[in-house]
Amino acid sequence: MADATAAVCNLAILEALSGDAVQEISESYVGFCAATESLLSGIGDLSAGSEMARHVHRLCKHQLHSLVREHFLTSLEENFERNGAVKFWQHFEPYRDISISEVDRSHACDDQIQEVLCKALEEISLENQYQKKCLLVLVDALQTYKDQVLPAKCGAVTKKEFLLSKYQLMISSVLMASLPRHFPEILRWYFKERLEELSATMAGESTDHFYSQENDEMDVDGNNRMPSESSRMDIDGGLHGDFSENKLIKNIGKVVCDLRGIGFISMAEDAYASAIFLLLKAKVNDLAGDDFRSSVLDSIKEWIQAVPLHFLHALLSFLGDSFSYERSSDIKSPLASRPLSCYPGSDNLSEGLVRWQLRLEYFAYETLQDLRIGKLFEIIVDYPESTPAIEDLKQCLEYTGQHSKLVESFISALRYRLLTAGASTNDILHQYVSTIKALRTIDPAGIFLEAVGEPIREYLRGRKDTIKCIVTMLTDGTGGNPNGTGNASDSLLEELNREEENQENGAVEDNFNTDDKQAWIAAACWEPDPVEADPLKGSRSHRKVDILGMIVGIIGSKDQLVNEYRVMLAEKLLNKSDYDIDSEIRTLELLKIHFGESSMQKCEIMLNDLIDSKRTNSNIKATIGQASQTSTVSEDSGNSLDILDATIISSNFWPPIQEEVFNLPGPVDQLLSDYSRRYTEIKTPRKLQWKKNLGIVKLELQFEDREVHFMVAPVHAAIIMQFQEQKSWNSKKLAAVMGLPIDVLNRKINFWIIKGIIAETMDQEGEGHIYTLLEGSGDSTKNGGDGGSCEELLAVDDEGEGSVASVEDQLRKEMTIYEKFIMGMLTNFGSMALDRIHNTLKMFCVADPTYDKSLQQLQSFLSGLVSEERLDFKDGVYYLKK
């Protein structure tokens, strides 16, 4: 090919050639070829150079420059292919099967590979350099000829550079063409090992480094002329560290240099970049781990500064880097929170290094973000403690902007781990609250929260006890967790408080004295909504993250929530023995702020009832003194009105109260009627109607050898009082005296049996049980030893039934009116779908009790009827059960 081009070029002068000239050319050419051969084969010996120069001159005379160049390069290539490349690759042949992922590679093997790599690179570099020298000989020869012919021309430099770059290209193409597949792996692995080694040295050294710095400062500041012993030692240590580190970097630098020499620039860069990233990833994983209680971002950044950047800095400066054309100390990384002046010579930090830093930090952010997102569920479970991890994640997301990744992964984690039948409603709610709080940190505008919260809300709507749990959380300091494990921060009560404070602050802000400056500040603080925001959901101002609002949003209407709260409040108030309702008043005031005065009106009346009761009660007590002379009540029973406190309620405003009829023991009944008589005297024409099953009784049981104190429901007290006179009762008789159905009595008396006060035996003569009072302490300690200690127990009824009808019961009661309508329409229309029933009820039940139930309420009622086998539900429509 070379000859062909030469021939084409010289076509014009071919005719002018004489026979002698042709003779001369062919002779010189043969001589030139031989000289080239001997030059290339002669190792380290350039003696053939002068011989070759002569031939070159002669050929050049006939304008055959290009022929000379082409031939020489071709010979170089062939020679390199034969001697350099093949040998070079042969070094790596034994490691063909080694893959980088092999974990259990022995250390010996590591060293071996390192050695082989260095040796091979050295060899090929030598070869390369020698060939370069040969090339220079040729260049020289061409130059000297040119100088003779055209003394004043100056194209030499370009010619030389051209030839050299051509040669470089040729070499790397030869190597690349025969590149074995495992070589990049070997390179990557090499850099990884070296970096790890470096990282280890750095880690050992960094402490020393800080030490010595500190000491240096001390010396300077304190003007201490006498270097302390420790400081000298530290400096020694530091020097040693620097030395070994420098050696290591030099080593790596040499490898990189050699690789560049043979044209493997990008491959080398790829290899050490991937090694650095691998190391960084491992480091992030190592640092972040499963500990969410500390922020790791700073230490990761520090590590990036300390290890990979230090390495790159050293490497680039060792190579006398080509990047360093521009001093870029004023180009600062936007990600670098502090200037990089802590390293010697960092003022001539190259732009390349800044780029590297940006890449590394972005990678670190992304890695950490992925790690944290993967564990977001756990992080939120330990929410208040895991705040540092949340903060880290927030920072990461600010840089990477991959919020959607968070939303997707978190939703799937929720579906898989939280929104399952096994999770208790309380836990779900707590997690929901924690999620709201945590995501509020990450995303103050609440856009991602909306996306994440929706599945939880959806799920909670399907749970029956959601409202109850929410109300308990709202009002209970313990966060409504029955196990008492819920910490105070879960409590929504606290959230109510916060809300109040916010509103107070807000009121101040809304004053009209905002001047222009404040307006300007407000305008400057404005930030656009994230692009993911749903434009339909209104602007930021309306979307303020409001935990209570989001919780109420689960239920749909605040009325239901208020209703449930009322039931709970009633239960609580009825079980109070003193009239201390301070905390309830406070809660109510907070709820009023949130839900409005009017919706809490009934609750307020309930609380007022308690306050009034307290006053009335003390008024009635006050009359005892005057009335006692005229009183017809015999005082011989030993009971005075002092022991009775009444709660007088306006029953219209209270939730329906469960009635339970039973006979109170005579003296107590007497007491009650005396109380009502006095009440009527004060408050004519009002009369008291006792709800005998409500309230609590403080009881002191005296036995022969001990005293036991209890706080029990009136029924329990009434039962045990029957045993005062008669130690043993037949269950039937007792039921008759108590005015209770026998099964109810059996259930209620269980309380005392469990407490070890009463023993149950079967009646010998017939059906029924015999209940006997246990006098001795021996039995009681066996049955329930702690009954003896003066404990206060508020007896909860065995089935947990409250004194107030639950919301579900109320609903059921209210729905019975509509039940007839539903039956009526189904009789006439055969089958109807849920929404048609709903609509028909809405249309025709407008009279007295207007139909105001939601579709969900209707559905649950209908499914109740289905389970009672009064309706059939098939293919989405309801039928009458025939």
Partner 1 sequence: MATVNGHTEDRYQGNTPAAAPTPKQPIPTAKSVDTQSVLKRLQSELMALMMSGDSGISAFPEEENIFCWKGTITGSKDTVFEGTEYKLSLSFPNDYPFKPPKVKFETACFHPNVDVYGNICLDILQDKWSSAYDVRTILLSIQSLLGEPNTSSPLNTQAAQLWSNQDEYRKMVEKLYKSPST
Beta carbon of residue 574, minimum distance to partner 1 (angstroms, whole number): 34
Is 107 or 820 the residue whose CB approaches partner 1 more closely?
820
Provide the H-helix boundaries in 510-600. Answer: 516-525, 547-555, 558-574, 582-595
Select from 74, 328, 409, 840 the one that contacts partner 1 (CB under 8 A): 840
Is 230 or 839 the residue whose CB approaches partner 1 more closely?
839
Rounded to a whole number, what is the distance in angstroms from the first to the last CA of the chain?
Answer: 102
Is 339 or 830 the residue whose CB approaches partner 1 more closely?
830
Contact between 848 and partner 1 (CB under 8 A)?
yes
Beta carbon of residue 847, minimum distance to partner 1 (angstroms, whole number): 5
Q: 96, 113 in Cβ contact below 8 A?
A: no
Contact between 820 and partner 1 (CB under 8 A)?
yes
Interface segment toward partner 1; rule CB under 8 A; list 514-522, 529-537, 669-677, 844-852? 844-852
Beta carbon of residue 820, minimum distance to partner 1 (angstroms, whole number): 4
Beta carbon of residue 406, minimum distance to partner 1 (angstroms, whole number): 48
| Distance separating alpha carbons of residues 592 and 558, to the nearest angstrom | 12
Is 243 or 829 the residue whose CB approaches partner 1 more closely?
829
Select from 173, 830, 852, 867 the one that contacts partner 1 (CB under 8 A): 830
CA distances from 503 to 221, 513, 592 (A): 53, 18, 13
Q: Which two tokens stand for residue 122?
A: 């050295």
Sign of CA dihedral 286, 291, 297, 302: negative
Of the candidates 40, 37, 41, 19, the one whose C-alpha atom is nearest the C-alpha of residue 29 is: 37
Contact between 846 and partner 1 (CB under 8 A)?
yes
Select from 485, 839, 854, 856 the one that contacts partner 1 (CB under 8 A): 839
Q: Which two tokens stand for residue 255?
A: 């490898």
Contact between 855 and partner 1 (CB under 8 A)?
no
Beta carbon of residue 878, minimum distance to partner 1 (angstroms, whole number): 14
Provide the H-helix boundaries in 384-491. Answer: 387-400, 403-417, 425-442, 447-461, 466-475
Q: 301, 309 in Cβ contact below 8 A?
A: no
Is 43 or 847 the residue whose CB approaches partner 1 more closely?
847
Interface segment toward partner 1; rule CB under 8 A; list 335-343, 646-654, 824-832, 864-872? 824-832
Is 725 or 848 the residue whose CB approaches partner 1 more closely?
848
Is 39 or 832 the residue whose CB approaches partner 1 more closely?
832
Beta carbon of residue 838, minimum distance to partner 1 (angstroms, whole number): 12
Question: Helix axis angle, 807-829 relative to 558-574, nearest 10°?
Answer: 130
Is 203 or 846 the residue whose CB approaches partner 1 more closely?
846
Beta carbon of residue 852, minimum distance to partner 1 (angstroms, whole number): 16
Select from 57, 747, 836, 842 the one that contacts partner 1 (CB under 8 A): 836
Interface segment toward partner 1; rule CB under 8 A; list 175-183, 200-208, 767-775, 825-833? 825-833
| Distance separating alpha carbons of residues 771 and 759, to the nearest angstrom | 6
Find how far residue 171's CA is from the centre of its chain: 53
Beta carbon of residue 870, minimum distance to partner 1 (angstroms, whole number): 15
Q: Which two tokens stand for residue 32?
A: 């030139």
Select from 204, 339, 401, 824 the one that contacts partner 1 (CB under 8 A): 824
Q: 3-state class of 690 per DSSP?
A: coil
Contact between 828 and partner 1 (CB under 8 A)?
yes
Sign of CA dihedral 693, 698, 702, 705: positive
Interface segment toward partner 1; rule CB under 8 A; list 231-239, 270-278, 387-395, 827-835? 827-835
Residue 426, classified by CB atoms within 10 Å of its CB into exposed (0-12), middle (13-18) or buried (19+), is buried
Is 86 or 833 the residue whose CB approaches partner 1 more closely?
833
Beta carbon of residue 692, minimum distance to partner 1 (angstroms, whole number): 33
Q: 3-state class of 762 per DSSP?
A: strand
Question: At 686, which amino acid appears?
Answer: R
Q: Which two tokens stand for residue 438?
A: 């945590």
Q: 300, 368 in Cβ contact below 8 A?
A: yes
- Give, as ranges, the residues between 635 and 674 that touch partner 1 (CB under 8 A): none
Is 549 or 824 the residue whose CB approaches partner 1 more closely?
824
Interface segment toward partner 1; rule CB under 8 A; list 44-52, 206-214, 427-435, 815-823? 815-823
- Give, as ranges, the residues between 39 and 68 that touch partner 1 (CB under 8 A): none
Contact between 843 and partner 1 (CB under 8 A)?
yes
DSSP state of 739: T
Contact between 323 and partner 1 (CB under 8 A)?
no
| Distance separating alpha carbons of residues 660 and 641, to the nearest angstrom | 24
Select from 223, 766, 847, 850 the one that contacts partner 1 (CB under 8 A): 847
Contact between 825 and partner 1 (CB under 8 A)?
yes
Beta carbon of residue 844, minimum distance to partner 1 (angstroms, whole number): 6
Beta carbon of residue 826, minimum distance to partner 1 (angstroms, whole number): 9
Contact between 821 and partner 1 (CB under 8 A)?
yes
CA distances from 412 to 215, 309, 589 (A): 53, 38, 39
| Distance separating alpha carbons of residues 321 and 328, to the nearest angstrom | 14
Contact between 829 and partner 1 (CB under 8 A)?
yes
| Distance separating alpha carbons of residues 19 and 825, to the nearest angstrom | 125
Q: 614, 568 in Cβ contact below 8 A?
A: no
- Number of residues assigned to the chain: 882
Size of site (CB under 8 A) for partner 1: 17
Contact between 401 and partner 1 (CB under 8 A)?
no
Beta carbon of residue 840, minimum distance to partner 1 (angstroms, whole number): 7
| Distance separating alpha carbons of residues 361 and 88, to the nearest angstrom | 37
Contact between 813 and partner 1 (CB under 8 A)?
no
Is 520 or 844 the residue whose CB approaches partner 1 more closely?
844
695 torsion bin: left (phi>0), alpha (psi -120 to 50), beta (else): left
| Distance separating alpha carbons of residues 281 and 288, to the nearest angstrom | 10
| Distance separating alpha carbons of residues 279 and 271, to the nearest angstrom | 12
Interface segment toward partner 1; rule CB under 8 A; list 97-105, 397-405, 513-521, 846-854? 846-854
Say if strands 769-773 and 831-833 run parallel, antiparallel, or are unpaired: unpaired
Is 47 or 850 the residue whose CB approaches partner 1 more closely?
850
Beta carbon of residue 508, minimum distance to partner 1 (angstroms, whole number): 53
Quickly tell me which residue has 């000297």 as its tokens. Answer: 144
Q: 3-state class of 835 per DSSP?
A: helix
Q: 878, 862 in Cβ contact below 8 A?
A: yes
Strand partners, 709: 700
Contact between 210 and partner 1 (CB under 8 A)?
no
Is 4 or 843 the residue whose CB approaches partner 1 more closely?
843
Site residues (CB under 8 A) for partner 1?
Answer: 820-821, 823-825, 827-830, 836, 839-840, 843-844, 846-848
